[in-house]
Structures are given as structure tokens and as C-alpha cells.
Amino acid sequence: MSISSSGFSAQNCSRPKGGPSLILSDSFIYQDTFTHGASVYFVCSTGYVGAGGSRWITCTDGVWSEVKLKCKKRLCGSPGDILNGQYDLSEGIEFGARVYAKCNKGYTLVGSGERTCMSQGWSGRVPTCEGWSFKGISCPTPVVKNGVRFEGGPPPYKHLSSVTFRCNSGYEMNGQATLTCEMNGWSLPRRSLYCANATNKPDNTICLTTP
């Protein structure tokens, strides 16, 4: 109990309580009783940021004034990009949310696939997706009649390796000159790349032969 400026006895206030998103400032947490007229303030809990409203409250004859401070969960932003994969963001990107990394078909996750939005940002690091399952894939040696290999190493042609052709003198390229070894074979289908005579249509197109 304390004496107010007008001379009447006023009730003291006990330590005010916060909530899930705000806590009493460290300056006051070790004090149990507050006299009439005393003021204290709140701060946002870990993982929350201020969203408006006064943080101060005042003790008036044993009753604290209403807390006006509003706090909202902080946002962690994007967890990053995964080459050949992506994050499942179904839980959002707010404090406490978790994201889960998924790799595209044929790729294997390397590193932790789960990250959590914490007070200082996302936990862990962005994982990688590696194409372990493609190691055994190879494509047959492509041969273009009236053309020669211009770029790209000799066989075997492993997954994602490329070969570029150019036509012999007197012939013109028809179709994309570069082939890429993909999961189901070369990137261009049969008969889509050939070297055509300048005046005659070709009788033969690309031939894929197995070494």
C-alpha cells in the first residue's frame, strides 16, 4: 500500500504478466511489488517483432492499465533456392515454421532436408540435390550422315554430356546442331537433325549407333 499525492491510501500492484508474444522488460522482472503510479514496459518475446501500440503500462490503485503493445511473429524470408529441387513451404515462413527440402525425380538429397525459422533466421544450410541415380546412364554414339562431330568428347557419352555437329562442305544443317544425353536418350528425337544437300532433300538423317 502507498500514499497517493491526494493523501488517500492506494493499493500497490503485483508484477504484471505478459503473454505468449510479449514479456516484461528485464529491468522489472526481479521486482514483485510496484507502487501506485509506477510504470513498466513490455518487449516482444523471442521470435516476435513489434507491430504497433505503446509498450508502457501504469499501476493505478492496484490495477495495471491495458497493454497496448502488439507483437507478431517475425518472418524468415526465403530459405534459399535448391538446384534440382525445392522446399515445401506449407507451414509458411514465420517464426517456428519448418520447411522440407525435396529433390526432383532422379536426384538424391545431400544434407539436412529440414530447416526451422528461428529468431535469427533459418537454421542449417541449403542442402544440395545430386544426380546419383544418373551415374549409370549413357547414350549411344550419334552419327550424322554428311556431318562431323565438332564439339564434345569421344564416347562413352554420360548423362548430360553434349555433342555438337557441323555439316561437310556443300551441306546445310537442318535442326538443332547440339545433342544432350538425357535420362531417356538424346535430347533430339530421330530424324530431327541432318545435313541436307543445298539442292536435294536428304535420303538419310541422324543415325544412332551403339558403340
141-158 residue pLDDT tens: 988 889 999 888 788 888
Do 100 and 121 share a domain, yes or no? Answer: yes
pLDDT of 160 > 90? The answer is no
What CATH number is associated with residue 37? 2.10.70.10
Give the C-alpha separation, 196 to 173, whole Å: 6
Residue 62 and residue 11 in contact, taking contact as beta carbons nearer than 8 Å: yes
- Which of 42, 73, 104 terminates a domain? The answer is 73
pLDDT of 76 > 60? The answer is yes
Half-sphere exposure of 151 (CA within 13 A, CB side): 7
pLDDT of 209 > 60? The answer is no
HEC-encoded secondary structure of 34-59 = ECCCCEEEEEECCCEEECCCCCEEEE
pLDDT of 35 > 90? The answer is yes
Do 65 and 90 share a domain, yes or no? Answer: no
Do 174 and 193 share a domain, yes or no? Answer: yes
Query: What range does the domain containing 194 cover?
Result: 138-209
Do 111 and 95 share a domain, yes or no? Answer: yes
pTM > 0.75: no
| Closest to 140 (Cα-Cα) out of 165, 160, 164, 158 | 158
Do 12 and 60 share a domain, yes or no? Answer: yes
Do 153 and 169 share a domain, yes or no? Answer: yes
HEC-encoded secondary structure of 133-194 = HHCCCEECEEEECCEEEEECCCCCEECCCEEEEEECCCEEEECCCEEEEECCEECCCCCCCE
∠ at Cα 201 (148, 198), nearest 5°? 65
178-195 residue pLDDT tens: 898 887 888 876 567 889
- Which of 115, 133, 151 terminates a domain? The answer is 133
96-136 residue pLDDT tens: 999 999 999 878 898 999 999 999 999 999 999 987 656 67
Domain count, the chain: 3
